[in-house]
Structure 1
Amino acid sequence: MSAKTLILYSSVDGQTLDICGRIKIHLEEKGHVVNLISIQNPPSSLTGYQKIILASSIRYGKHNQELSAYINEHHVLLNQKPSAFVSVNLVARKENKTSAETNPYVKKFLSQIEWKPTMVGVFAGKLDYSKYTFGDKWLIRLIMLLTNGPIFPPIAMEFTNWERVKAFSVSFSKL
């Protein structure tokens, strides 16, 4: 039996969309029918979906505000269905920051919303200074300096652990 699944995402530089695209492929391999939709054009209703994944990257220490507002509006229905929250952030490049219990951004976000997702996936993103504005580059470099990350890498650095993304997808497919 195929589950109709929604993946609603917010992606600033594209890595969250790439991760959600990979989750979509893994779920389709397990028989799901998956709609991958940007928070820019969210569905007005969630009733047609059996399972739901909401995904957001971190920017300036916060998840996407539109996604947060969507969660606040639909939390009752979200709490009635198998659901997952996916956070993509550079803090998760550290192995001890890859869970809802250990990632400070995810802990704070989940404590501020009424939705209690069935699963939470925390994945490291991609660091690509060439995509950032001048101000963003220096702010991110400051954050990297404070967290012992790469400040002047010669190329984009992808920190996403694709095996963890696949494992998350397989677990979600079994809900």
Structure 2
Amino acid sequence: MERVLLLHSSREGQTIKILNYIATKLGSDVQCELVDLHQPLSVSFSDYDRVVIGASIRYGHLNKKLYQFITKYQTELEQAKAGFFIVNLTARKEGKDTPETSVYFKKFLLKSPWVPALQDTFAGALFYPRYNWFDRVMIQFIMKMTGGETDPTKEVEYTNWQRVDQFVEKIKRG
């Protein structure tokens, strides 16, 4: 049975939701393990046939622990031909929803010593009722500036699941 390691750097849970969706779409003949890369890694890359990392943007940045993880495991990631995707709200807009057009993906490639073999970017979700006061106000401000949803009572999912399906197909092709 094929084994896939799904690593996440998630803040609000949409990245984990996307990785769980990927696991489901890979099928029952693929065994997936979901691991938080912010925690000490207790698995060996050699135990897996594939590796996929999902990471979320918050206030314009990926978590610094992601970069620390990549630096520590760069060789293993390169040998695994690992896939990587970024989740952010800017990707809700057409023309900002690919690795080539995403400012966050471009910034990642400049900062990271690792260039993923498989790359993508997906729109995330807004969870206003779940945010603390500061985060809610800051995200409303950002969304107002970018023409997005500002109603603090709403939860809006922007993820394009067809795009995620296309990413899954690329994973399957190896």
TM-score computed with the length of structure 2 as normaliser: 0.92
Confirm or deny: 8 A CA contact 2:54 2:86 kept in the other structure.
yes
Confirm or deny: 8 A CA contact 1:28 1:34 kept in the other structure.
no
Confirm or deny: 8 A CA contact 1:128 1:157 kept in the other structure.
yes
In structure 2, the gaps of 5 or more residues are none
Alignment of 1:1-175 (within 5 A): 2-29=1-28, 31-41=29-39, 42-152=41-151, 154-175=153-174
Distance (whole Å) between structure 2 residues aligned to residue 44 and residue 5 of structure 1: 12
Confirm or deny: 8 A CA contact 2:129 2:153 kept in the other structure.
no
Runs of 4+ residues deviating >2 angstroms: 40-45
State the 1:153 CA deviation: 5.8
State the 1:45 CA deviation: 3.0
Distance (whole Å) between structure 2 residues aligned to residue 151 and residue 47 of structure 1: 45
Confirm or deny: 8 A CA contact 2:126 2:156 kept in the other structure.
yes
Helix, strand or coil for the counterpart of 1:116?
coil
State the 1:8 CA deviation: 0.4
Aligned-residue CA RMSD in angstroms?
Answer: 1.5
Name the count of aligned residue pairs.
Answer: 173
TM-score computed with the length of structure 1 as normaliser: 0.92
Confirm or deny: 8 A CA contact 1:53 1:83 kept in the other structure.
yes
State the 1:91 CA deviation: 0.4
Give me the identity figure in percent. Answer: 35
In structure 1, the gaps of 5 or more residues are none
Distance (whole Å) between structure 1 residues aligned to residue 120 and residue 53 of structure 2: 10
Deviations 1:75-129 (A, max 9, x none): 1121122211111100000011111111111110121111111111211111111
State the 1:44 CA deviation: 4.9
Distance (whole Å) between structure 2 residues aligned to residue 58 and residue 13 of structure 1: 10
State the 1:154 CA deviation: 4.5
Confirm or deny: 8 A CA contact 1:4 1:51 kept in the other structure.
yes
